[in-house]
Structures are given as structure tokens and as C-alpha cells.
């Protein structure tokens, strides 16, 4: 009887160990399958943030013409210069890759007994981590391109001086400000990240094999290119809709500084609430 009990326990242990090994493999495949979309969403968030920051002076000037309290003046977006954006994009590439890896790792750290909460946790973790990393890496990226002698000019992006709001002087408040002002964008980006990435996994037939993982990575890479392509090179209506969705009227602090002759608050955006 005792031997039968020991054998039963050994069998259960072996089954549990095999299950854990299978889950570890699936989790690693999920990390790679999700990464292209994680990078794409971080790049899209950076793109919208640049559009927001260079719009600050115009929004402040036009705010005087707004007659309805709480409304923002109309603003027409435009596609950013590809060469200039390419010099800033490393911050988003690094932030997106690290955020998607950490988010999937955190979401799958415990067993897959509850699938829906697992993906919710992945989305929340991605939104929080990508916001924090962008707040830290954007100022570093701006500092690097300045030191390399390749700063962004007005000929490339109008009102490029507003990009200094990223914190080229690495002011201590810049990363914290970005975390506060960029969180709403990040949460929507996180939701899109999980939903689109899961669609890619489903279309690939799942992650039960290495070939399935490769197909998922390829499909999600195509989705990632489409996401950024629609934002940068597609209809400006998409860019305009996202801008209008997330950008709020300039805060009283920005309007006050503008009235005093200041260019703006370092690290602040029109996303700040009044």
C-alpha cells in the first residue's frame, strides 16, 4: 500500500513537472509572438506624443478664440518627417520590446488556470511599463542625438523646439510628468496590443509548435507594420481622430506661463488636467 502511494505521488509529480515544462515553452513562445505588436504600439504612442507637443504653442494661441468653456481649439495634424522621427524612434523600440517581454512574463508567471485575468494583467503591465520606460528613454534619446550633432530642426518638424519639453536637460520632473500625461494613451495602446496580438496568434493556428510561433511572429509583424503605416502614411483622418481623442485643452498653468512670456513647462503637455 505504501509503495502504491509513493508511486502515485511520483506519477503526480512527473505529470506536474511535465505540465510546467509545457507551460514554460508556451509562455516563451507567447513572448515572441506578442513582441512585434508591443513595439508597434510604443512607436505609435511616441508618434502621437510628438504631434501633441509640437501642437502646444498653436493650441495655446487658439485657445483664446474658444467660446465654450472646457473645449479645445481645432487643430489639423500632419505627418511627421520620417528622417527626424527615425532619430527619435529608438526610445520607443527599446521601450516596446522590454515592455512586451516584461508584461507577458509577469502575466504568465503563475499558471494558466485563469486565461482572461492573465491577458488583463498582461495589458495592465504593458501599459504601466511602457509609459515609465518612454518617460525615461525619450529624454536620453534626445540628449544622444544632440550630442551626436543631429538635433531635430524646424525644417524637419515645425516648432521642433517644443521637443525640448521631453527634457533634453534631463530634468528630474520629465519622466514623472510623462508617466502622468501618457498613461491614458498607454492603456488604450495596451488594449490594442493584446487584442491584435491574440488575433495574430489565432490566425497562425496557435503556439502548440515552433512553426506556429514563427507564423504568429510573422503575422503580428505584418499587423505591426500596418498599425504604424496607417498612423504615419495612411489617411490623416486616423491620426486626427487619435489626436482629438487624447489631447485636452491646455491647462491653466500652461496658459499662465504663455501669458508671462515663457515657452512652456518642461515635461508638460496639453494632456494635463486643469
Reported pTM = 0.77
In a domain, 31, yes or no: no
In a domain, 266, yes or no: no
In a domain, 68, yes or no: yes
Strands (E), the chain: none
In a domain, 159, yes or no: yes
In degrees, to the nearest 5, what angle opens at C-alpha 231 toward C-alphas 95 and 203? 75
- d(CA 130, CA 22) in angstroms, rounded, equals 29
- What pLDDT was estimated at residue 15? 67
Domain tally, the chain: 1
In a domain, 273, yes or no: no
- What pLDDT was estimated at residue 112? 60
CA-based nearest residue to 165, from 264, 59, 48: 264
In a domain, 180, yes or no: yes
Sequence-distant (≥ 6) Cβ neighbours of residue 171 within 8 angstroms: 139, 266, 267
- d(CA 101, CA 196) in angstroms, rounded, equals 16
In a domain, 252, yes or no: yes
Domain residues for the domain of 52 are 37-259
Count of residues in the chain:
274
**What letter would DSSP give residue 171?**
-
**What letter would DSSP give residue 163?**
G
**pLDDT, tens digit, 9 for 90 and up, residues 67-109:** 777 677 777 888 888 888 888 899 999 999 999 999 999 888 7
In a domain, 127, yes or no: yes
List of the chain residues with pLDDT < 50? 165-173, 262-274
- What pLDDT was estimated at residue 8? 63
Q: At what angle do helices 210-232 and 236-246 cross, to 10 degrees?
A: 90
- What pLDDT was estimated at residue 35? 93
Amino acid at each position: 500500500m505504501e509503495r502504491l502511494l509513493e508511486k502515485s505521488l511520483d506519477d503526480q509529480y512527473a505529470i506536474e513537472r511535465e505540465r510546467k515544462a509545457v507551460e514554460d515553452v508556451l509562455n516563451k513562445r507567447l513572448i515572441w509572438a506578442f513582441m512585434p505588436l508591443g513595439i508597434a504600439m510604443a512607436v505609435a504612442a511616441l508618434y502621437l506624443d510628438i504631434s501633441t507637443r509640437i501642437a502646444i504653442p498653436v493650441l495655446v494661441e487658439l485657445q483664446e478664440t474658444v467660446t465654450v468653456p472646457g473645449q479645445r481649439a481645432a487643430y489639423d495634424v500632419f505627418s511627421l518627417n520620417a528622417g527626424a522621427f527615425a532619430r527619435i524612434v529608438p526610445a520607443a523600440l527599446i521601450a516596446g520590446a522590454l515592455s512586451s517581454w516584461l508584461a507577458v512574463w509577469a502575466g504568465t508567471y503563475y499558471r494558466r488556470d485563469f486565461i482572461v485575468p492573465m491577458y488583463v494583467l498582461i495589458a495592465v503591465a504593458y501599459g504601466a511599463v511602457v509609459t515609465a520606460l518612454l518617460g525615461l528613454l525619450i529624454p536620453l534619446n534626445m540628449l544622444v542625438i544632440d550630442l551626436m550633432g543631429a538635433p531635430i530642426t524646424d525644417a524637419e518638424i515645425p516648432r521642433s523646439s517644443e521637443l525640448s519639453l521631453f527634457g533634453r536637460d534631463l530634468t528630474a520632473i520629465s519622466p514623472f510628468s510623462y508617466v502622468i500625461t501618457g498613461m491614458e494613451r498607454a492603456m488604450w495602446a495596451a488594449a490594442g496590443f493584446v487584442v491584435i496580438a491574440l488575433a495574430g496568434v489565432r490566425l497562425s493556428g496557435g503556439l502548440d509548435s515552433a512553426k506556429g510561433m514563427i507564423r504568429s511572429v510573422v503575422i503580428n509583424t505584418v499587423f505591426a507594420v500596418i498599425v504604424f503605416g496607417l498612423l504615419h502614411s495612411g489617411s490623416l483622418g486616423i491620426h486626427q481622430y487619435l489626436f482629438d481623442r487624447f489631447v485636452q485643452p491646455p491647462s491653466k498653468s500652461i496658459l499662465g506661463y504663455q501669458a508671462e512670456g515663457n515657452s512652456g513647462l518642461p515635461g508638460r503637455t496639453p494632456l494635463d488636467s486643469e
